[in-house]
Structure 1
Amino acid sequence: MADKPRHPEWTQPQRSDEPVLKVYNSLTKSKTEFIPKKGRNVTWYNCGPTVYDSSHMGHARNYLTQDIIRRILTDYFGYDVHFVMNITDIDDKIIIRARQQYHLDALSANEPTVTQELIDTVHKAWLAYLHKQLTKGLEDKSLVVSGQEESSWANIETLAQDSGWVQAGNARDEKFFMHLKALVSYLFYNLAQSNLDTSSNGLITSSAPVLSPYLDALHLSSPNAAPIPSHLTRALSTYWERAFMRDMDRLGVRRPDTLTRVTEYVPEIVAFVEKIVAREWAYEAGGSVYFDVRAYDGVKGKDKDWEHVYAKLQPHSKNNTALLEEGEGALSSSDSKRSPADFALWKRSKPGEPEWPSPWGPGRPGWHIECSVMASAILGDGMDIHSGGIDLAFPHHDNELAQSEAYHDCQQWVNYFLHTGHLHIEGQKMSKSLKNFITVEDALKMYTSRQLRLAFLAQSWNAKMDFKESLMLEVRSQETVLNNFFALARALVSDEEAAAEKPSTEEPRHNYGDTETELSALLAQTQHAYRIALCDSFNTPEAIQRILELVSRTNIYVARGRSRVNVGVVAHIARWVTEALRVFGLNGEATGTIGWGTDGDNAGGSVDREALLIPYLRTLSGFRDSVRQLAMSGASAKDILKLCDNLRDVDLIPLGVALDDQDDGKALVKLVPPETLIKARDEKLAQAAEKSAKKAAQAEAAKAKQTAKLERGKLSPTEMFRPPNVPEGTYGSWDDRGIPLTDAAGSELPKSRSKKLIKEWEIQSKAHEEWNAWVAAGSK
């Protein structure tokens, strides 16, 4: 009986080492393996903006960078991320801005025309600003003399003409230049004195920087100062929140999964603070509640095998008084604190400030407690990731950690703290006083959102970034390389699909040899290097560089010639490059196609087929008409080829069609943004014009040089040694050729001198012959 057939033995493949995702963790100051608490689910809280003004490039650096990391975790590594972000809509800056605007609006309503009383108010405000603000940046405080402020200001204006003097002031006070600009309102004050009873709008608007703090201080000094209507702070924060979200949308930043606002969580904040007070890690003083750092730091936790620690992120900063005070806000008072390191959990509201009820009296939340409460309310007693700008590390995030771990009595509330690096502009800190302050709106007028994202991808996310023109030139160059590659790949695919629809007598070839094998291997190597880079704490500069190297090698491969290209290999590479860039948010949410995809503004819109096709059909019809006219007139092949060149170089460019001539005589058709083709054509024409002008200038210079040389031969050699061509009395006699024989005294010339004169005569004789020939030829 035959043996029963058996399956052959199967050998299990050996598992290769896979790179492990590691992230730079501010809690360890090193790259640590990323291990979420619950498998593929990631909880993430990101500190959102304090909404009281326009978003700027510092915001773009932070939120766009966080968006890139978030996309990598979700779209590449496949994590399910719950991304929570807050909006800080209760803050000293918001209160001050809303209050000052309220007082300005009230002044405008009460003083619709220029009056002497209004002028006096502006003058008092100007004097107060001069003494309080400008003197901070003055090395010589005696420059401002009480009772002589106008003449003092005249001297300061003269000194301000020296940029070095202004820079020195900025070094002492970073807002020095801004204060100088504000005080220029003195000009409007002087002008207004001769324009009584005219509209007050110009005077109030131009003087707003000095008026608003003065009016606010005046209001607060009143014993019966009432808080401004609460809806005004809400209106201000709502306006700027919407503006922020619009800017983020334009930058392509994904909206958070959960958005929280401080004003929505005040009851929870009160309960949170009560629990910390009950644990004796916070105390009430004068209607405010402060976190007791000394009582908390070093105390055993509930399990007794670990201790609570204050300033986990920046322990070296825990005694930095300046940072501690800055973290408390401009409206805070430290009179009732037990220690300078203690920070406010709840602030007693002062006159003119909004307030909410609490067991300690009317007040409002401290800045640091807001994030702790909202994050805990959504994510519970801990989270995988907390993020924000590096400027928030201390004291904000350290205070946040302390109060949260006090509330939950836990050892580690956050497992991974991700801090984005500082942004500088052309090597300097971004500041209005340095005149390098760039809003997101301003940036988007200069660059596209894709270019800004490419710029951030070119930098390590947690390192300091220098935003400068040379960086953006490099970014534009990279974008052009990618644009051209995508256009090339799409054209090859389209060309091959069109060819497949036509019958062919050619023997089919697979075009998959050693070169294609090497290129496919390079793609696999790049894919692996891309993963290694992203596992290395989201090393996007390395990932982008690897992509560009692959694109460069593919371009070299295609340049061999259309007939030898395996389009399938090129398309495979182009689709992977597209997907790799999509992970970074560079081509919206598009998948499956080659290139950047469709811009969000155009997505979902219906296509007007006639409007789309007519410009192309008119060009085709016009070309046909011209060809027919040339053919009927018996034009030469040269004329027809010139017409074809005109179609390629002139007619099709505004339509975004590029025709690349190939070795096989068939043009490769590419669709490229018209502005790209127009720019390239204009640059080519400019280079040709420059080359032509240079060539013409060289020819003109050569002609002038030749003319000058010929002009020197105009003089007959028989006259060259006779007056007036030499001074009277130089020579006494000459031979029949006009060569001198004796000097003025009748003495025979020395042989050496005669020899020299003969040589000069021969040179001039030859030049004169050339001159005569030139004249005879009619060149003169």
Structure 2
Amino acid sequence: MTKTKNEFVPVRSRHIKWYNCGPTVYDASHIGHARNYVTQDIIRRILVDYFGYEIQFVMNITDIDDKIILRARQTHLLNDFRSQNTHLSPELISQVRGAWAAYLHKKLQKGLPETDRPGKEDEESFWLNLLNKDQEESEWAKGCRARDEKFGMHLAALSSSFSALSVASAAIAANDTSPARANDLLNASVDVLYEWLDNKYGSTVTDPAIFRSFASHWESDFFSDMATLNVTPPDTLTRVTEYVPEIVEFVQRIIANGYAYPTADGSVYFNTRAFDGAEGGKNRDGTWKHAYAKLQPWSKDNKDLLEDGEGALSTGTTKRSPSDFALWKASKAGEPSWPSPWGAGRPGWHIECSVMASEILGDNMDIHSGGIDLGFPHHDNEIAQSEAYHDCRQWVNYFLHTGHLHIEGLKMSKSLKNFITIKDALNKYTPRQLRLCFLSQLWSGRMDFRESSIAEAKGIETAFDNFFTVAKALIAESRSTNANSDGRHHYEQAESELIALLQTSQHKFRVALCDSFNTPLALSILLELVSQTNIYIARGRVGVNVSVIEGIARWTGKMLRMFGLGDGLYGEIGWGETSAAGETVINREAILMPYLRALSNFRDDVRQMAIKNASTKEILALCDKLRDIDLIPLGVALDDREDGQALVKLVNPEILLRNRDEKLAQAAEKAAKKAAQVEAERTKKLARLEKGKLSPQEMFKPPNVLEGTFGSWDDNGLPLTDGEGKELSKSKVKKCAKEWDIQKKAHEEWQEWVKAGH
């Protein structure tokens, strides 16, 4: 609330009570959710695994609210509509066309200029008028998007449905009523059908199981994404529908304390005017003044934010002030309901978190987290109603708000066609790359998710991968030789400097994390340590102290795993890998045979070459084949070194194959460019030779020039007079002579080319 950095002091020593706003489960989670929950997981891991705090981490699932009710109803009604329309028919086309027209009139009004808004004109004529406009670059289109950022999305939905309607009409004319045609029409018209069906039949959806099963599906989908992203599950998970009796009791006390009021329709609203500035502390020592909108006081009169906070189904309310918000909503037809003293209804959005957090954590907590978009009105409303209920001065000691995520500089939006689900992202990037990308940004700042950000994350991942691979190879090599001491301790100046750098890095790393979890700085410290260690390793096998390298590798790996970038045991080198479930018996044959087969094949080839007295070049090619072809799929990399002894490294086979394929692709691209250049030169030469076929003696005579251009020529074919018999000017004669010389050389070149048999 101070908007500054303060020393973090939990109420109970090293025990932290933390409540985290969980998702509203009505659709697939997107990359913004990933940034929010992965970032909070990183902070949680730092507090527990690095600073040694104990955390009671509570997260809620909003499994009933306006968005869920609407989407569950719409999905249910669309599924019913599909089951009733398994074949294409004129009636189905007519219904979809009606939904299309309703969507057009409702959705495009806001974005269209007054002169373009549809009146009584035919919907199709109006649509064709829009379709003929330049939808991307025209000033008209830009104006529409400026008036309504969702205009492009609505236009795309209309276009998709309109095209499908045209195809369906043609199919009917051709007597094609197949289920495939019906599905094509319905699939292309989902967006326009959702609202049309809900407006017509939404009030008939009465089965509570429809809403429960819908929310349960998306809750499972959310936690599946979180597990893939390696997000630690909450210690306690709460769901709104499981706490309705407690919510009713909570609201009753707020009314009794004088900070809420019921309305005639059976709803209950929080009275922000009564609360703001009221004296608190009636039940405790000392008094204070309550304040509404502590987090964002400048937003408490923002009508857009206030309306968004109430939900799409909250219309025609009778609240006393625009800033008042619903604690309990009277349920209308087509909405789930629970009994209450004010009639059948359901919880408001904000009250759920106050009740569940209070039930688990009491009247005060250390940390409350969520995205910055929840600051107002959600978190400010939580604060107000909780402090009104508990009659306390401060319900939450520290709010952690993760920053917005934008895509390539733009706010993520389906209307802008830059909406990325977590599953979409995971089809392109690994969970580790995404986490590295988030770690590279300050947790509280706005993040711009760009391809360049992912490229940077991949570069960081590769840097650590290569370091761990070399370190493990050196350690394995050192231990396999069991060499006796060479009489030197190998702790010279280079080793002392590297150990000092490790200690300095460890201190800087801690300072960075103490400074509001500055993970970008912490990562850069690790990368610099790795870079300097690589410089040390580059000295070569002789003189390198492997134990120093091992100590740095173990600490670096431990810190990366602390960030949630891998799994593995304490002290393990690298990211760590998770074993397959139930894998307790090592199958030596399955593990060893691919490697033994590669070596056996190599031995066979060497023997055959020795028998045939093969050349050194052929034997070296065979060695390269073992390195580049046979061992790569097995995850073995051989680094040739100056001392003639290759460094053996075990690497993820996918990485080796990808690197090899990239090199081959680059080589192929280079060869293709070279071939294209050669072909271009050949074509150019042929064109030049073709031009050289003409003898210079004939170049200024018809038909090679227009009849009448020149009147007379010398013995070499150079023109002397023009078509009228006038002597050519000196400049003209000079120009013709120059062209004649050029053609003479070209003709001689052509003659040589022909003579050579081409």
TM range (shorter): 0.7 to 0.9
Tell me what 1:320 maps to.
Answer: 302
Is 1:613–2:592 an aligned residue pair? Answer: yes
Q: CA deviation at 1:605?
A: 6.3
Deviations 1:446-491, CA, capped at 9 Å, x for gaps: 0000000011011111111111111111111111111111110110
The one-letter amino acid of 1:186's match is F
Secondary structure of 1:346's match? strand
Task: Go from structure 1 to structure 2 and tell me whether the alpha carbon gap of 1:628 and 1:397 turns closer, same or farther (over 3 Å shift).
Answer: same
Task: Go from structure 1 to structure 2 and tell me whether the alpha carbon gap of 1:716 and 1:673 turns closer, same or farther (over 3 Å shift).
Answer: same
Is 1:93–2:71 an aligned residue pair? Answer: no
Asked whether the equivalents of residues 582 and 590 of structure 1 are also in contact (C-alpha less than 8 Å), the reply is no
Deviations 1:618-658, CA, capped at 9 Å, x for gaps: 11001100111122222333332222122112221222211
Asked whether the equivalents of residues 16 and 55 of structure 2 are also in contact (C-alpha less than 8 Å), the reply is yes
Of 552-561 and 419-428, more deviation after overlay is shown by 552-561
Secondary structure of 1:563's match? coil
Q: Measure the CA separation in 1 of the matches of 2:524 and 2:678.
A: 46
Tell me what 1:510 maps to.
Answer: 489
Asked whether the equivalents of residues 55 and 440 of structure 1 are also in contact (C-alpha less than 8 Å), the reply is yes
Q: How do 1:298-447 residues align onto structure 2 when only pairs under 5 Å count?
A: 298-302=277-281, 303-333=285-315, 335-447=317-429
Task: Go from structure 1 to structure 2 and tell me whether the alpha carbon gap of 1:559 and 1:133 turns closer, same or farther (over 3 Å shift).
Answer: same
Secondary structure of 1:517's match? helix
Is 1:254–2:232 an aligned residue pair? Answer: yes
Task: Go from structure 1 to structure 2 and tell me whether the alpha carbon gap of 1:112 and 1:687 turns closer, same or farther (over 3 Å shift).
Answer: closer
Q: Measure the CA separation in 2 of the matches of 1:695 and 1:182.
A: 47
Secondary structure of 1:562's match? coil
Fraction of identical pairs, as percent: 59
Deviations 1:215-239, CA, capped at 9 Å, x for gaps: 222236xxxx555211110010001
The one-letter amino acid of 1:170's match is R
Tell me what 2:521 maps to.
Answer: 542
Residue ranges of structure 2 left out of the alignment (5+ in a row) = 723-731
Q: Measure the CA separation in 2 of the matches of 1:722 and 1:57.
A: 72
The one-letter amino acid of 1:261's match is R
The one-letter amino acid of 2:380's match is D
Of 237-246 and 139-148, more deviation after overlay is shown by 139-148
Tell me what 1:139 maps to.
Answer: 113
Q: Measure the CA separation in 1 of the matches of 2:751 and 2:329.
A: 103
Q: CA deviation at 1:721?
A: 14
Tell me what 1:652 maps to.
Answer: 631
The one-letter amino acid of 1:669's match is V
Deviations 1:587-615, CA, capped at 9 Å, x for gaps: 13543211121147668465433222221
Q: Which of 238, 249, 274 is the equivalent residue of 1:271?
A: 249
Deviations 1:308-345, CA, capped at 9 Å, x for gaps: 11101000001111111110111113531111111111
Q: Measure the CA separation in 2 of the matches of 1:755 and 1:333.
A: 91
Q: CA deviation at 1:534?
A: 0.6
Secondary structure of 1:385's match? strand
Q: Measure the CA separation in 2 of the matches of 1:755 and 1:281.
A: 104
Secondary structure of 1:259's match? strand
Tell me what 2:156 maps to.
Answer: 181
Of 301-310 and 719-728, more deviation after overlay is shown by 719-728
Deviations 1:63-99, CA, capped at 9 Å, x for gaps: 1111111111111111001110000011001111122
Of 42-51 and 656-665, more deviation after overlay is shown by 656-665
Q: Measure the CA separation in 1 of the matches of 2:409 and 2:445.
A: 14
Deviations 1:720-749, CA, capped at 9 Å, x for gaps: 9999999996669xxxxx9x9x999xxxxx
Tell me what 1:579 maps to.
Answer: 558
Q: CA deviation at 1:770?
A: 11
Q: Measure the CA separation in 2 of the matches of 1:32 and 1:558.
A: 42
Secondary structure of 1:635's match? coil
The one-letter amino acid of 1:393's match is G
Tell me what 1:522 maps to.
Answer: 501
Q: CA deviation at 1:139?
A: 1.9
Tell me what 1:481 maps to.
Answer: 463
Q: Measure the CA separation in 1 of the matches of 2:415 and 2:749.
A: 71
Is 1:464–2:466 an aligned residue pair? Answer: no
Q: CA deviation at 1:105?
A: 3.4
Is 1:73–2:47 an aligned residue pair? Answer: yes
Task: Go from structure 1 to structure 2 and tell me whether the alpha carbon gap of 1:694 and 1:162 turns closer, same or farther (over 3 Å shift).
Answer: closer
Is 1:636–2:615 an aligned residue pair? Answer: yes
Q: Which of 92, 101, 105 is the equivalent residue of 1:127?
A: 101
Secondary structure of 1:135's match? coil
Secondary structure of 1:33's match? coil
Deviations 1:665-685, CA, capped at 9 Å, x for gaps: 211000112232223223333
Q: Measure the CA separation in 2 of the matches of 1:89 and 1:138.
A: 36
Q: C-alpha root-mean-square deviation of aligned residues, in Å?
A: 3.8
Q: What is the total number of aligned residue pairs between the two structures?
A: 735
Is 1:215–2:197 an aligned residue pair? Answer: yes
Task: Go from structure 1 to structure 2 and tell me whether the alpha carbon gap of 1:578 and 1:763 turns closer, same or farther (over 3 Å shift).
Answer: same
Q: Which of 120, 123, 131 is the equivalent residue of 1:157?
A: 131
Task: Go from structure 1 to structure 2 and tell me whether the alpha carbon gap of 1:51 and 1:761 turns closer, same or farther (over 3 Å shift).
Answer: closer
Asked whether the equivalents of residues 144 and 152 of structure 1 are also in contact (C-alpha less than 8 Å), the reply is yes
Asked whether the equivalents of residues 93 and 165 of structure 2 are also in contact (C-alpha less than 8 Å), the reply is yes
Asked whether the equivalents of residues 388 and 420 of structure 1 are also in contact (C-alpha less than 8 Å), the reply is yes
Q: Measure the CA separation in 2 of the matches of 1:321 and 1:620.
A: 74
Q: Measure the CA separation in 1 of the matches of 2:460 and 2:430.
A: 14
Q: Measure the CA separation in 1 of the matches of 2:62 and 2:46.
A: 27
Task: Go from structure 1 to structure 2 and tell me whether the alpha carbon gap of 1:558 and 1:779 turns closer, same or farther (over 3 Å shift).
Answer: farther
Asked whether the equivalents of residues 63 and 212 of structure 2 are also in contact (C-alpha less than 8 Å), the reply is yes
The one-letter amino acid of 1:316's match is W
Secondary structure of 2:280's match? coil
Asked whether the equivalents of residues 731 and 743 of structure 1 are also in contact (C-alpha less than 8 Å), the reply is no
The one-letter amino acid of 2:547's match is G
Tell me what 2:531 maps to.
Answer: 552
Residue ranges of structure 1 left out of the alignment (5+ in a row) = 1-26, 733-737, 745-752
Q: CA deviation at 1:163?
A: 4.6
Asked whether the equivalents of residues 227 and 354 of structure 1 are also in contact (C-alpha less than 8 Å), the reply is no
Is 1:292–2:271 an aligned residue pair? Answer: yes
The one-letter amino acid of 1:272's match is F
Tell me what 1:229 maps to.
Answer: 207
Is 1:56–2:30 an aligned residue pair? Answer: yes
Secondary structure of 2:394's match? coil
Tell me what 1:750 maps to.
Answer: none
